[in-house]
Amino acid sequence: MPESYKPVREIRINPIIPAESVLVATARSMRPRKAEDPAPRDTRKHVDTCPFCLGNEDKTPPEIRRVPAQGEWEIRIVENLYPVLGNDRSQPGLVFGLQQAIDGYGRHEVIVDHHQHGIAIHEMSSAHLAKLFGVYQSRMRELYDMDERLKYVLVFKNFGPAAGASMAHTHSQIIATPVVPQNIHDEVTNSRDYFKRNHHCIFCSLIDEALTFEATIYDRSSGQILRKINVGQYVVERGKKFIAIKPFASRYEWEVHILPLDHQSNYLDTAGEDLDDLAMVMQRTMARLDAVIGGAQYNFFLHTLPHGEEFDNCDKSYHWHLEICPRTSIPTGFELGSGLFVNTINPEEAAERLRSVQL
Ligand SMILES: [Zn+2]
Ligand SMILES: [Zn+2]
Ligand SMILES: [Zn+2]
């Protein structure tokens, strides 16, 4: 085992959201988590009873769009059969004592990512993935244009039962809400504060560090090397326009973030040709994860600038990104009770293992 991968037990502070900090504890005796059993992936191309499969279009809730519009569809957007939010105002807001309730107003839609039932992201063509990223973009734009009250359109995906997917057919989801989710709000306002103090986007700085930073930290009295940080140690994949990075304070063992290399606050501003590069970086990153974990079950979340005038001044300080969070273990009471994430694999070692996959 290389020197840097000796057992680690330390709390790593997330530089953007300190409240999302992580206990990295790699010694076996320190593992408070139960490993999630790898679920056998449903690789079937077509399932007669699946409402998301080709030919079963009449079994889904109403269709919002299909791509392409004519001929055999590749991607479909449909309403969610069990929406967590509704687009009708059913009850007024409520305040009693210290309790407060806001009407669950919003939209909840399903995107059938591909007409093939069990296809994984890394098995899709780059052209298809780029099209999917384009569909996310145009639907987000439409929802914001349709309804001024919507402040955030969250695009996310659950893949595999450990990630909460209730349908085996590959799909992602859109939730549009009149409030900005707290974690995104924290990212936006904390990075704005950082920009006020440092005149730099903190996300750009993190990318620069990943690409250029090198350090050796010595023990003050013995002079022994405590830690070595090598150039590119946290880089998992790099394209012309996008980079995939393993966060220093990774909450999940195999968590990887994808960001545009050049500063950009809003996913809606990403040019069509850049989506090709995003698709390539995403596909290669997912192939690496799949090779190392084997049948990755994961969530991903698209974090971008929220909608509304109050966020106009965050254009220079916020930087959109995609967070990929594979689920390889079940959170325990320690994590749920403390709010501290526990990661049992050294992020530096995880990054190296992902990088060394031959694609
Ligand atoms: Zn299906
Ligand atoms: Zn930036
Ligand atoms: Zn984020």
Q: How far is the CA of 153 from the centre of ligand 1 (A)?
A: 25
Give residue 254 CA to ligand 1 midpoint distance, Å: 27
Cα 169 to Cα 160: distance, rounded to the nearest angstrom: 10
pLDDT per position as a tens digit, 195-220: 999 999 999 999 999 998 888 989 88
Q: How far does residue 257's CA lie from ligand 2's centre (Å)?
A: 14
pLDDT range class, residue 37, cuts 50, 70, 90? low
Ligand 3 center to 304 CA (angstroms)? 8
Give residue 349's pLDDT band: very low, low, confident or very high (50, 70, 90).
very high
**Model confidence pLDDT, tens digit, residues 156-181:** 999 988 888 888 899 999 999 988 99
CA of 206 to the centre of ligand 3 (A): 13
Q: Work out the average pLDDT over 94-109.
A: 78
Average pLDDT, the chain: 90
- Please report which ligand is nearest the Cα atom of 195: 2
CA of 53 to the centre of ligand 1 (A): 4
Peptide bond preceding 331: is omega within 30 degrees of 0, i.e. cis? no
Is residue 85's pLDDT more than 80?
no
Ligand having the closest approach to the CA of 201: 2
How far apart are the CA of 123 and the centre of ligand 3, in A? Answer: 25
Task: DSSP letter for 321, please.
Answer: E
Please tell me the predicted confidence (pLDDT) of residue 203: 97
Q: How far is the CA of 266 from the centre of ligand 3 (A)?
A: 13
How far, in Å, from the CA of 52 to the mean position of ligand 1?
Answer: 5
- Proximal ligand: closest to the CA of 112: 1
Distance 242 CA to ligand 2 centre (A): 12
Q: How far is Cα 99 from Cα 101, in angstroms, rounded to an integer? A: 7
Which is nearest to 173 in space by CA: 244, 284, 242, 77?
A: 77
Cα of 87 from ligand 3 centre, angstroms: 26
Residue 1 has pLDDT above 60, yes or no: no
Tokens representing 247 are 């966060």
**Ligand whose nearest atom lies closest to the CA of 207:** 2
Q: Could you give the residue ranges of the DSSP H alpha helices within the chain? A: 126-146, 182-198, 202-212, 272-293, 333-338, 347-355
pLDDT at 47 over 80: yes
Nearest-ligand number for the alpha carbon of 60: 1
Are 234 and 213 a contacting pair, CB within 8 Å?
no
Place of tokens 């994984």: 120
Distance 57 CA to ligand 1 centre (A): 11
CA dist 20 and 111 (Å) reads 29
Backbone φ and ψ of 67, nearest 5°: -130, 125
CA angle (323 as vertex; 188, 248 as ends), nearest 5:
85
C-alpha of residue 46 to centroid of ligand 3, in Å:
34
Distance 180 CA to ligand 2 centre (A): 20
CA of 63 to the centre of ligand 1 (A): 16
Going from the Cα of 16 to the center of ligand 2, the distance in angstroms, rounded, reads 13
